[in-house]
Amino acid sequence: MKIQRLVFPDKGRCEVEESEFEERLGPGEILVKNLVSLVSAGTELAMFTRLHRGFDEPEFKYAKYPFRPGYSAVGEVVMGSGNLTPGTRVFHPGRHGTYHKLHADSVIPLPDGMPAEHATFFGLLQIAMTAPRLAPARVGEHVVVIGMGLVGNLCAQLYAQSGAGRVACADLSVNRLEKARACGLIEGYNVGVKPLAEWVKNLGERGANIVVEAVGLNPTIDAALKAVAPRGLVVLLGSPRHKMEIDPYFDIHVKGIAVIGAHGKNVDPVTRAQDKPLLMEWLRGGKIRVEPLITQRMPFAEGLRAYEGLRDKPDEYLGVILTYP
């Protein structure tokens, strides 16, 4: 059979490629037809714009073209295995493409009544969960999340469910702060108006015990170091895009803070597996709100428009859902 999928052949280009696909399944494999998938404005956009680390670092094998994006999709089982019978809707980490051959262990059946579009956020929700797992908020501690993109917004919602005192959201974009409010995140800091270090004074004497940087840019990492309270935690949830210099004496040593690298691989697989049903249930039940984050829906063949929008119109484009015929 023939399948189609998105590919980045070079910087700023996104095309639909067609190829032959072997339908025969191996042990434990299933065939899934995609229904919807969610575009990542983090890793995928960084690969599209060639801002991802590694393109000029030969030892980093991941960052190269051609690149086939996607890792957060919902599809319908066409050929099943075990309890995954044809017609079962599943979340899977496959690419933006029409069909996927996957191992049954890599997919998660959707609960009854769960909208497929909402379930596409599960992959980013797992990434966002990295911060609360590596830097849990003790009861009453205040958390500030910088960057109200999808992962930052979801991370702030997770902290709000975790017993944190106050959870504040920081961003340059008024629109993204309004989206955060629509998701139940009431305290927003517009860092285009004044620096984050000034905003956190609103939190009182305790200050910002945990500051999560969910952007990956040098200025916001520096702002996190400056704004966190003494003996607090700075969590690098966004993948840093460039090398930078910091002042380790005043920013870290004197303040007694800790900096935590929150790459997803740093949460052990057992904990990740245990979190899966909890996160899926929170999505299904509305404890984690994602409908306000969906800003565009478009056919998957128009993927170029999605990435160009995320690159050029970040106030307008946030959560882009791709649909499949």
Predicted pLDDT at 20: 87
Predicted pLDDT at 232: 97
Mean pLDDT (whole number) for 246-264: 95
Give Cα 33 distance to the centre of its chain. 23
User: Which string of DSSP letters, residue by residue, matches 302-313?
Assistant: GHHHHHHHHHH-
Mean pLDDT (whole number) for 131-147: 96
C-alpha distances in angstroms, 159 versus 118, 136, 215, 268? 19, 8, 17, 19
Predicted pLDDT at 61: 72
Mean pLDDT (whole number) for 109-135: 96
Strands across the sheet containing 167-171: 187-190, 167-171, 143-146, 208-213, 228-236, 258-261
pLDDT above 90 for 179: yes
pLDDT above 90 for 192: yes
Instruction: State the burial class of residue 320 (Cβ atoms within 10 Å of its Cβ: 0-12, 13-18, 19+).
Output: buried
For residue 105, give the nearest of 180, 181, 30 by alpha carbon. 30
pLDDT above 90 for 82: no
Tokens 């840019």 belong to which residue? 217
Instruction: State the burial class of residue 105 (Cβ atoms within 10 Å of its Cβ: 0-12, 13-18, 19+).
Output: exposed
Q: With beta carbons less than 8 A apart as the criterion, state whether 285 and 172 touch.
A: no
Instruction: State the burial class of residue 134 (Cβ atoms within 10 Å of its Cβ: 0-12, 13-18, 19+).
Output: middle
Predicted pLDDT at 156: 98
Q: How confident is the model at residue 4 (pLDDT cuts 50, 70, 90)?
A: very high
CATH numbers and ranges of domains, the chain:
2-121+290-323 (3.90.180.10), 126-266 (3.40.50.720)
pLDDT above 90 for 216: yes
Q: Which residues pair with 7 in a beta bridge?
A: 15
pLDDT tens digits along 17-66: 999 888 888 888 999 999 999 999 999 999 999 999 888 877 777 789 99
Instruction: State the burial class of residue 27 (Cβ atoms within 10 Å of its Cβ: 0-12, 13-18, 19+).
Output: exposed
Mean pLDDT (whole number) for 288-316: 97
Predicted pLDDT at 63: 86
pTM, two decimals, is: 0.95
- Cα distance between residue 244 and residue 217, in whole Å: 9
Predicted pLDDT at 62: 77
Mean pLDDT (whole number) for 156-167: 94
Please name the residue ranges forming H helices in 21-75. Answer: 43-48
- Cα distance between residue 1 and residue 166, in whole Å: 53
Predicted pLDDT at 56: 81
Give Cα 222 distance to the centre of its chain. 21
Q: Work out the mean pLDDT of the chain and round it to a whole number.
A: 95
Residues 6 or more apart whose Cβ sits within 8 Å of residue 100: 31, 32, 34, 73, 75, 92, 94
Q: With beta carbons less than 8 A apart as the criterion, state whether 199 and 230 touch.
A: no
